[in-house]
A and B are shown apart, each in its own frame.
Chain A
């Protein structure tokens, strides 16, 4: 399978409540149509790595950080960040990546349908039945004309998945998308989502702190290990293949 992401010695440092945090990715390769899970406890850097993969967070340094989307040109993301090519990064993001946040991140002033069609409008994709069909599959077809505030938490997450998938991206990134839901609803939603992404041949990268959940979905996990360094002043987390 084609390699989609290739990362080598990617480092991101942050200061959280006076304690240094360093995320290190010595080497990771993610292939097309792979379903990857970043598993680890809260604060281990899962979201940080996902944000870098979603091109919404700049790495501090990297030897290699490249993206080779299916049906798209390869891009050296490290160089784009270095040259601060924000427009190019948003173009790549808009075209190839769908992103689901923990809390959905739907725009409260747009109806569910308008939220879902927003990525399609930006790409000037035709106004076909894509929105109706993805909404039907995700079970929110009767909620399309409502505002997100009127939906249940589960429905909001389904709508967030629908928005992330509406423009048929080749990569779906989901940051603990079901953490706020009860286990049964979470399982149901993820089952449907897995079916959709397998059908559409999408690469999934998700984060979770629930081992059992990941195990059931048969996702490949990246190893995570952490240690306190520099006399306990810096907490370092490493993700490896």
Chain B
């Protein structure tokens, strides 16, 4: 134990005494490691973000039937509970799902498409709460602009029908809860609670809606929807769901071709990245290993003196191993600092030009730790090999060189 403490002290004294040489080793290590980290950071920043955006874009995960079908609540609930389904909500007939909107701040009466929404709707993932009753609405950006409204404003919604030979129109005051992001849709859309969508269809079909005081024929039949809006949990689930739905006779539209392209891009980019990463890691390992090996060889004379004085061979191996650990740790630290500086510069100057919402270059804490572990393993392995070689030769061979 005493010898280990002495070796620890001696290796550190030698390392700090030769600070210029130690500094060169640290610089050499970090100049190989830092570019690798930047490459890795860019992969995560650009490739992962872009691929994730493609992979996670709700439009790529949307599954919708073409034409009319017959889907009851039980059918909808069954799919809602499926692991691979993120969100599903019924749609009513397209012609019955329109409403006229009018605001105090605009003269225009806007015919708007109604879409039912509920918590977890991928189209409204940026919005914290969705309409809970008949009187709330979230407008698409286009609709909000045309009506010149903002969240909190009230708008007049009206519906017209021909009933018992007379033309009727009902009004409803809706509160604008929020405005959806422009990327959600370019159409004039009002996202409402499913109850309001159903009520609209019932009114237009001449049925009564007691909750809103709209008169009409009574409706005893079970509710059946002609369509739905479904989103798979990931793009990898789309193909199976489409195939399953098509087996029931439904004609389904989904971005299967685009999904195949996205998956292919994801796979190809991953392969390219891993080739670069493996070649880089291999080069890094050889470069670091060779320089540390050379350092141990340079230290052979002094290691022989230590053996002459009486240090055991096993303890001698510890001397270069400890010095390699110092180099690995300090080199890694410098590489991290260099990387962080580049990360800041890249994200600050380049990301805005490319209109990317997310960082162009970033690494997770675990990536830094992996880099440290790789550096340590390579450094210690090279030093152990060099140290064993130094400890294996006769001390007299090393001493003759002093």
The interface of chain A, by Cβ under 8 A from chain B, is 47, 51, 54, 56-58, 86-87, 90-91, 93-95, 99, 101, 103-105, 107-110, 118-119, 121-124, 147
Most buried by B among A104, A105, A147: A105
Given contacts A93-B308, A119-B310, 12 further A-B contacts (CB under 8 A): A51-B396, A54-B308, A56-B394, A87-B313, A90-B311, A90-B312, A90-B313, A104-B402, A107-B306, A110-B10, A118-B6, A122-B2
CB neighbours (8 Å) of A147 from chain B are 17
**Per a CB cutoff under 8 Å, which of A87, A105, A108 touches B308?**
A105
Question: Contact at A105–B399, with CB atoms within 8 Å?
Answer: yes
CB neighbours (8 Å) of B236 from chain A are none
Given contacts A56-B395, A122-B3, contact A105 B310 (CB under 8 A): no
CB neighbours (8 Å) of A104 from chain B are 402
**Per a CB cutoff under 8 Å, which of B13, B307, B400 touches A109?**
B13
CB closest chain-B residue, reference A86: B313
Interface residue tally for chain B (C-beta within 8 Å): 26
B220 at the interface (CB under 8 A from A): no
Q: How far is the CB of A185 from chain B (nearest CB, A)?
A: 20
CB neighbours (8 Å) of B257 from chain A are none
Secondary structure at the A interface, as helix, strand, loop or mixed, is: mixed
Question: Contact at A99–B402, with CB atoms within 8 Å?
Answer: no
CB neighbours (8 Å) of A121 from chain B are 2, 6
CB neighbours (8 Å) of A123 from chain B are 310
Question: Contact at A122–B14, with CB atoms within 8 Å?
Answer: no
Given contacts A56-B394, A121-B6, A122-B3, contact A107 B310 (CB under 8 A): no
CB closest chain-A residue, reference B394: A57
Q: How far is the CB of A180 from chain B (nearest CB, A)?
A: 12
Question: Contact at B310–A110, with CB atoms within 8 Å?
Answer: no
Most buried by A among B2, B10, B395: B395
Alpha-carbon separation in the docked complex, A109 to B310 (Å): 18
B78 at the interface (CB under 8 A from A): no
Question: Contact at A118–B309, with CB atoms within 8 Å?
Answer: yes
The interface of chain B, by Cβ under 8 A from chain A, is 2-3, 6, 10, 13-14, 16-18, 302, 304-313, 394-396, 399-400, 402
Question: Contact at A101–B399, with CB atoms within 8 Å?
Answer: yes
- 15 residue pairs of the A-B complex, CB under 8 angstroms, read A51-B396, A56-B394, A56-B399, A57-B394, A90-B310, A90-B311, A93-B308, A107-B302, A109-B10, A109-B17, A110-B13, A118-B309, A122-B3, A122-B310, A124-B2
Most buried by A among B2, B306, B308: B308
**Per a CB cutoff under 8 Å, which of A51, A86, A87, A94 touches B309?**
A94
Question: Contact at B394–A87, with CB atoms within 8 Å?
Answer: no
CB neighbours (8 Å) of A107 from chain B are 10, 14, 302, 305-306
Question: Contact at A91–B310, with CB atoms within 8 Å?
Answer: yes
Alpha-carbon separation in the docked complex, A99 to B399 (Å): 11
Question: Contact at A86–B394, with CB atoms within 8 Å?
Answer: no
CB neighbours (8 Å) of A91 from chain B are 310
CB closest chain-B residue, reference A123: B310
Q: How far is the CB of A209 from chain B (nearest CB, A)?
A: 16
Question: Contact at B18–A109, with CB atoms within 8 Å?
Answer: yes
Q: How far is the CB of A153 from chain B (nearest CB, A)?
A: 14
**Per a CB cutoff under 8 Å, which of A90, A105, A122 touches B402?**
A105
Q: How far is the CB of A151 from chain B (nearest CB, A)?
A: 15
CB closest chain-A residue, reference B305: A105
CB neighbours (8 Å) of A54 from chain B are 308, 396
Alpha-carbon separation in the docked complex, A110 to B400 (Å): 21
Alpha-carbon separation in the docked complex, A51 to B395 (Å): 9
Question: Contact at A99–B308, with CB atoms within 8 Å?
Answer: yes
CB closest chain-A residue, reference B13: A109
CB neighbours (8 Å) of A110 from chain B are 10, 13
